[in-house]
Copies of this chain bind each other. A is one copy, B any other.
Amino acid sequence: MDSETPRVPRPGLPDATVARLAIYLGALNALHAEGATTISSGELAEAAGVNPAQLRKDLSHLGSYGTRGVGYDVAYLRFQLDQHIGSPEHWPVIIVGVGNLGRALVNHSGFSSRGFRVTALFDADPRLVGTQVEGHSIHALEDLESVLDDPAATIGVIATPPAAAQEVADRLVGAGVGCLLSFAAVGLRLPPSVTVRRVDLGSELQILAYHRQMSLADGITALVSDPHD
């Protein structure tokens, strides 16, 4: 967060709402980059991949109703969303594990467009240490403490094989990192002070297969699901 204008996001929003607001903010950032100044709820809903009624309901919670026939002001709506879910601006992101997944994350446009900065990469493989990916040096995990400027504000992304994930998590928490995003399909034992999210890609496929079987079994023809429903 910007230290001159500290923004504390609004507490108590359910994850599903935060997820959708984050998606709206991502879509608005993309539209802003393309030069859009106003947008209708229908256009924003389409860009965000949600239904327009859900979008209008979510935005009305922010006290944002748009102007009939004109739509929403892109800059003001971005400001409002920022106020509600907080701006990740200046939040440093480090990625541990620079295999295919780690490399995909370094390049991920959704990180930079939301204001996150990848600041350092780490890998256990001595052949990778000292090389660069997209301008970022790969460090040895042993050098974690010396590389991190502000561990408490740093998001640590675990993109290692599952077998290494717990050790890496312990290492990160030991260095003061309080916020982890793990792609390892294993549970992590962590102190309760640490904020964690897991992205389990196998589970995503299984949820999808469940819905597909349901829709085939029931003859339901309309089912569009969102990861955060």
Q: Could you tell me which A residues sit within 8 Å of B by CB distance?
A: 1, 8-9, 11, 13, 15, 18-19, 22-23, 25-27, 30, 45-50, 85-86, 88, 91, 93, 99-101, 103-105, 107-111, 113-114, 116, 152, 155, 161-162, 178-181, 185-190, 192-218, 221-229
Contact = CB atoms under 8 A, between A and B. Distances in A.
A227 B208 contact: no
Given A197-B208, A206-B85, A227-B199, A110 B9 contact: no
Q: What number of copies of this chain does the assembly contain?
A: 2
A22 B116 contact: no
Q: Which 3 residue pairs across A and B have the least CB separation, nearest first?
A: A49-B187, A110-B202, A101-B104
A159 to B, nearest CB: 8
Which of A88, A113, A179, A206 neighbours the largest number of chain B CB atoms within 10 Å of its CB? A206
B181 A22 contact: no
B86 A1 contact: no
B179 A208 contact: yes
Which of A26, A45, A49, A178 neighbours the largest number of chain B CB atoms within 10 Å of its CB? A49
A162 B197 CA distance: 23
A207 B197 contact: yes
Contact of A181 (B49, B195, B200, B205): B205
B86 A26 contact: no
Which of A180, A201, A205 neighbours the largest number of chain B CB atoms within 10 Å of its CB? A205
A94 to B, nearest CB: 12
Given A46-B189, A101-B104, A224 B195 contact: yes
